[in-house]
Amino acid sequence: MKEVLPSTGLPLELDGRSLTIEEVVAFARGGVECALSVESAEKIEATRTLKRDLIERETAIYGVTTGFGDSAHRQISPSKTARLQQNMLRFLGSGTGPLASPEVTRAAMLLRANCLARGNSGVRLELVERLLLYLNNDVLPLIPERGSCGASGDLVPLSYLGGALVGEVEVLHDGEVKDSRDLLDELDLEPMVLEAKEGLALTNGTSFMSAFAALAVWEAEELALVSDLCTAMAAEALLGNRGHFNAFIHEEKPHPGQVESARVIRELLAESELALDSEEIFAGDGLGGREFLELERQVQDKYSIRCAPHVGGALRDTLEWVRRWVEVEINSSDDNPLFDAGSGRVQSGGNFYGSHITQAMDSLKIAVANLCDLMDRQLELVVDEKFNAGLTPNLIPFFDESDPEAGLHHGFKGMQLCCSAMTAEALKLSNPASVFSRSTEAHNQDKVSMGSIAARDARSIVELAQNVAAIHLLAVCQALDLRGIEKASPKTRAAHELVRSRVPFLEVDRRMDADIKEIVDLIKSGELSKQERKE
């Protein structure tokens, strides 16, 4: 996995054209500052000048000198344009549900600033600078997650961003919830008074859904690698056949993600004394003159092991184009209308529409949910004494019948139940959001994208997958301890050591919820994938 960009001491420069997912993640996790490029500042000034000229000429401009949505046929005088923008933030302040996490909020604010940095929105330079000041001082509006259909972008959630700038909503700062007006007083700043188009420019875009999307892509890329590690360790725990991952097989069905997944698993299993190649398993004299022979090992492992590169490969190949779509989206003018300083025109369209993010997130949801299902099926094989090739039931330690502890312990039984429940939830959430369009806002928004719902679902499925993977890793580490960790491959032994540095072997039944959290944190840190890449 690529590392999140380390801090260089230089600010992240926003130009509306070159922001990467890596940079979004680095900023969302804190410790990075941002600034506006010189070229962007010049473009912002030019389009703002054009906007003011068109307003003075009493041109009918959607959402600037007219009402919003189905009120677009009602034009107002230039003197009312500022109040219209302020009112927009107020009537959109109707979000519900849980509050977005600080990571998501930072990412959404950064993406909104990057959209404005592209220089087509007609806002003042001061507005963008105030937004950057909030970002660099970690002043985060409290944004309810629910309320957007993803048609005119994320109007309701993003209205809270604008509300923070004008001092009308609560914000999080230094770990405390504060009234934004009180915080502005602390910072010796006046609330922004919006001018024409500025409320619309802040709310009319895909920055909220794209924040979820960028973070989901990053963490799904890590999960693709972690899942390959889970497969390798499960193959060892089950005394599997590592020949299933040989290059010849996958090069004859050359989906790039499948080939890569098989390569990773193959390299993880190199030198394993537990998962052997086909020739090693079946070396011998054949039937030796007999007409029937009961083999000690099966010729083929079950699908959840043998076909793992096909499932993980589909995720990898989905991520390739999903990443590309998300990076196009976060480097676009995704509001409306747009001011073209070159031609002297203002043009209305629908760049706020979140269809690409919705389609990308619906596809990512399905791919990650399938990964959950794969890991859950592998876990079942490892914990079930009917299928785990001689390991203990539910991976309890080996107890002699005379041991006072014999019969009292159930090991990973609860963990498997939890894993199966989370997998079921991930599969339920994978239902595509894009096909559930609603006609809203007096039939002005009569076909909506459902982008933020799809992106939030993708975030939820990724979080479930991280927990499923954590349980899987704990189980296969327990299994390899029982099997004999010294027989595992060098790379899986190293991964086992990382897990054991945080969570000990399960000697007797105990609560394991804290263990799961420890390994989720390990997955999120990227340490496991770094280990996979070591020579």
Q: Which residues have a catalytic role annotated?
A: 62
Q: How many CB atoms lie within 10 A of CB 76?
A: 16
Distance CA 207, CA 152 (A): 11
Instruction: Report the phi/psi class of residue 448: left, alpha or beta, with left for phi > 0 and alpha for psi in -120 to 50.
Output: beta
- On whether the CB atoms of residues 14 and 135 are closer than 8 A, the answer is no
β partners of residue 346: 339
Residue matched to tokens 């390959």: 228
Reduced to 3 states (helix: H, G, I; strand: E, B; else coil), residue 133 is helix
Q: Which two tokens stand for residue 487?
A: 């027989």
What kind and span of H or E run contains 345?
strand 345-347
- On whether the CB atoms of residues 385 and 391 are closer than 8 A, the answer is yes
Pairing of strands 140-141, 96-99: unpaired
Q: Which two tokens stand for residue 325?
A: 């779509």
The helix-helix angle for 21-28 and 207-237 (nearest 10°) equals 90
Q: Which of 367, 370, 358 is nearest to 436 (CA)?
A: 358
| DSSP one-letter code for 269 | T
| DSSP one-letter code for 241 | B
β partners of residue 35: 13
- On whether the CB atoms of residues 354 and 451 are closer than 8 A, the answer is yes
Amino acid of residue 141: P
Instruction: Give 408: exposed, middle or buried? Use CB within 10 Å, 0-12, 13-18, 19+.
Output: exposed
Query: In 81-237, which ranges are E strands?
Result: 96-99, 140-141, 144-146, 170-173, 176-179
Instruction: Report the phi/psi class of residue 143: left, alpha or beta, with left for phi > 0 and alpha for psi in -120 to 50.
Output: beta
Distance CA 176, CA 131 (A): 19
End-to-end CA distance of the chain: 15
The two most distant CA atoms of the chain are separated, in Å, by 100
- On whether the CB atoms of residues 373 and 312 are closer than 8 A, the answer is no
User: What radius of gyration do the chain's Cα atoms show?
Assistant: 27
Instruction: Give 386: exposed, middle or buried? Use CB within 10 Å, 0-12, 13-18, 19+.
Output: exposed
| DSSP one-letter code for 101 | P
